[in-house]
Amino acid sequence: MLIRARAPLRISFAGGGTDVPPFPEDEGGLVLNATITKYAYGTLRPRKDDQIQIKSVDFGLSLTYGLQEPVVFDGKLDLVKAAISQLVGSQSTGFELFLHSDAPPGSGLGSSSAVMVALIGLLKEFRNLPLTDYEVANLAYVIERKDLGIKGGLQDQYAATFGGINFVEFFGDRVIVNPLRISSDILSEIEHNLLLCYTKSTRLSDRIIEDQTNRYARRDGSALEGLRMQKGLALEMKNALLQRRLSTFGELLHQAWEYKKKMSPKISTPYVDELYEEARRHGALGGKITGAGGGGYMLFYCPFECKCDVARALTKMGAAVTEFAFEFRGLQTWRMGEV
Write out the catalytic residue numbers.
Answer: 156
> What is the three-class DSSP state of 4?
strand
Instruction: Name 37's Cβ contacts closer than 8 Å, sequence gap at least 6.
Output: 8, 324, 325, 326, 327
Contact between 200 and 257 under an 8 Å Cβ cutoff? The reply is no
HSE of 26 in the Cβ direction (CA atoms, 13 Å)?
13
The contacts of residue 29 (CB under 8 Å, 6+ apart) are 15, 18, 19, 20, 23, 153, 154, 169, 170, 171, 231
In 3D space, the residue among 42, 62, 177 whose CA is nearest the CA of residue 123 turns out to be: 42
Query: How far, in Å, are 5, 118, 146, 189, 252 from residue 336 at the CA level?
Result: 11, 16, 34, 37, 45
Q: Are the beta carbons of 302 and 193 closer than 8 angstroms?
A: yes
Report the C-alpha gap between 77 and 183 in whole angstroms. 41
Q: Taking Cα atoms as reference points, which of 100, 106, 108 lies closest to residue 36? A: 108
CA distance 318 to 198: 9
DSSP string of 62-129, one letter each residue? EEEEETTSPP--SSSSHHHHHHHHHH--TTS--EEEEEEESS-TTSSS-HHHHHHHHHHHHHHHHHT-
The whole-angstrom distance between residue 102's C-alpha and the CA centroid of its chain comes to: 12
Residues in a beta bridge with 198: 297, 320
